């Protein structure tokens, strides 16, 4: 989450700088056509500097400040009159911030403003959509009509479980192991979960096992050029979804990396969703026994049944 908060802060800072720059440019342009406005603005600016003199005036400072405040109000009123004469509103010279609540600072009364929170959520969703068809994978458009018999019963149970798990998500949620043949909806339901969790403000990372492991290897050997550490993101995000486990090329590095991710997140109480076409004995054969033990012992298994939905959709 921290990386997206920093990105959101930079965006909001840029919004504030842009608003203030546009206001300054407008002031310069209006003063060029109205010498009277230029003079009033200059007096207002000088009054601000004069206010600093109160620091060396002792007890006589109060009367000085009161007079200065009265003069400033008169100048503000005069400026409003000039602006109205130009066919403008009295706040025409004020910066027009994207968020008037925090004035594009991102913070209100020591707390993150709603505008920053919303931007973080949007960045999370954009990240999700950048690597997966998240927009097309929701609970609303998951069609149970492609299943029948025992598969329909099982998939209805899985669907309801995933929907409930997503709505109740928290950092202490249990992890999930989705198993089954290709085309049965594992990716769709995991992304439907991601959509809900992201909308709640949590940090979600979705990646195929092969893609994530490739990034981890490049990072280890100094060949990764991205801004953020793939390892840190994988180990610390609120929810990590690892798709297609078992399709990646598996060497000792991949086995060790998978174990590190699974073990570290379990110890940290951070949930994870793993999708795989492998059967349990194939998982035991392909990965370290410690990985197999943790997946079987600590993950909620969801065994998908049915026929390849993608093929049915093409008929």
CATH number at residue 306: 3.40.50.300
Beta strands in the chain (DSSP E): 107-108, 111-112, 175-179, 204-208, 239-245, 272-276, 299-303
On whether both 181 and 44 belong to a single domain, the answer is no
Alpha-carbon separation of residue 279 from 133, 239, 244 (angstroms): 26, 24, 13
178 and 307, same domain (yes or no): yes
Same domain, 281 and 148: yes
Beta-ladder partners of 204: 239
In a domain, 6, yes or no: no
pLDDT confidence of residue 241: 94
Same domain, 62 and 182: no
Q: Residue 286: which residues within 8 A CB-CB, separation 6 or more?
A: 246, 250, 278
In a domain, 8, yes or no: no
Q: At 209, list the tokens.
A: 């096992």
- 246 & 305 share domain: yes
- The reply to whether 111 falls in a domain is no
* 90/183 same-domain check: no
In which domain, by residue range, is 203 found?
132-314
Give pLDDT tens digits for 184-235.
999 999 999 998 998 887 888 888 888 888 888 888 877 766 556 788 888 9
* Domain shared by 295 and 195, yes or no: yes
**Contacts of residue 137, Cβ cutoff 8 Å, sequence gap at least 6:** 187, 188, 189, 191, 192, 195
pLDDT score recorded for residue 71: 85
The first and second tokens of residue 313, run together, are: 């959709």
Inter-residue contact 302 to 158 (CB < 8 Å): yes
In tens, the pLDDT along 48-64 reads 666 666 656 555 567 77
Predicted pLDDT at 143? 92
* CA 93 distance to own-chain centroid: 33
Residues 71 and 181 in one domain: no
Please tell me whether residues 269 and 136 are part of one structural domain. Answer: yes
Q: Which residues of the chain have pLDDT under 50?
A: 1
pLDDT at position 1 is 47
Asked if residue 119 lies in contact with residue 14, where contact means CB atoms within 8 angstroms, the answer is no
Query: In the chain, how many domains are there?
Result: 2
Q: Are residues 147 and 285 in the same domain?
A: yes
Residue 87 DSSP code: T
Query: From CA 98, how far away is CA 276, in angstroms rounded?
Result: 44
Q: Which two tokens stand for residue 71?
A: 């003069």
Let me know whether 225 and 288 are in one domain: yes
Helix, strand, or coil (residue 111): strand
């Amino acid at each position: 989450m921290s990386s997206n908060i920093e990105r959101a802060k930079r965006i909001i800072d840029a919004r504030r700088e842009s608003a203030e720059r546009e206001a300054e440019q407008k002031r310069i342009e209006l003063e060029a056509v109205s010498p009277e406005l230029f003079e009033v603005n200059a007096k207002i600016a000088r009054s601000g500097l004069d206010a600093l003199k109160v620091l060396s005036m002792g007890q006589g400072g109060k009367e000085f400040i009161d007079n200065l405040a009265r003069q400033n109000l008169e100048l503000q009123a005069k400026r409003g009159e000039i602006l109205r004469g130009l066919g403008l509103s009295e706040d025409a010279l004020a910066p027009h911030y994207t968020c008037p609540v925090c004035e594009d600072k991102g913070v209100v009364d020591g707390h993150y403003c709603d505008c920053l929170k919303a931007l973080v959520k949007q960045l999370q969703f954009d990240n999700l959509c950048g690597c997966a068809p998240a927009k097309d994978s929701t609970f609303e458009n998951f069609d149970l009509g492609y299943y029948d018999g025992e598969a329909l019963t099982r998939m209805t149970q899985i669907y309801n479980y995933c929907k409930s798990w997503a709505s109740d998500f928290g950092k202490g949620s249990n992890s999930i192991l989705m198993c089954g043949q290709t085309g049965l909806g594992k990716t769709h339901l995991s992304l439907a979960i991601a959509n809900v969790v992201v909308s709640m403000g949590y940090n979600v990372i979705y990646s195929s096992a092969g893609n994530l492991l490739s990034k981890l290897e490049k990072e280890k050997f100094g060949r990764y050029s991205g801004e953020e550490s793939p390892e840190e993101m994988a180990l610390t995000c609120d929810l990590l979804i690892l798709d297609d486990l078992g399709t990646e090329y598996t060497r000792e590095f991949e086995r060790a990396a998978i174990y590190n991710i699974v073990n570290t997140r379990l110890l940290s109480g951070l949930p994870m969703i793993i999708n795989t076409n492998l059967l349990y004995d194939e998982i035991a054969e392909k990965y370290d026994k410690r990985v197999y033990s943790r997946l079987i012992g600590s993950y909620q298994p969801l065994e998908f049944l049915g026929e390849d939905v993608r093929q049915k959709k093409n008929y």
